[in-house]
Every structure is written in structure tokens, then in C-alpha cells.
């Protein structure tokens, strides 16, 4: 009798854990992309506008 309750409950718990892990991985990838693209470039990487104007 208890097995009839425990087996579906166990399957639901395992499915919930798998769902949460997959969702967490997707969010982790989105966060990494956001953090990698959300930084200020240094002045050397953008091109030093002040130096270029002086040379002209």
C-alpha cells in the first residue's frame, strides 16, 4: 500500500530536481553572457580619442 504512494511521489521528486537543474543551467548561461557583455571597455580597447585628435 505504501509503495503505491511512494513510487509516484519519488518519481515526481526526481522530475522536479531534474527540472530545477536544467532551468538553473539555462539561467547560468544567460547570466554568464550578460556578465561577459556588460563590462566597460578600457580606453585602449575603444581607441584613445584624445591621442588621435592631438595627432591630427
- pTM value > 0.75: no
Give the pLDDT band (50/70/90) at residue 38. confident
pLDDT for 54 beyond 60: no
Report residue 20 as a C-alpha cell.
530545477
User: pLDDT class for 37, splitting at 50, 70, 90?
Assistant: confident
Alpha helix locations (H) across the chain?
2-37, 43-46, 49-55
**For residue 41, which phi and psi values (nearest 5 degrees)?**
-75, 150
Amino acid at each position: 500500500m505504501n509503495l503505491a504512494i511512494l513510487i509516484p511521489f519519488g518519481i515526481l521528486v526526481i522530475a522536479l530536481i531534474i527540472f530545477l537543474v536544467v532551468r538553473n543551467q539555462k539561467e547560468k548561461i544567460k547570466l554568464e553572457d550578460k556578465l561577459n557583455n556588460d563590462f566597460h571597455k578600457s580606453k585602449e580597447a575603444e581607441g584613445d580619442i584624445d591621442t588621435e585628435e592631438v595627432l591630427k
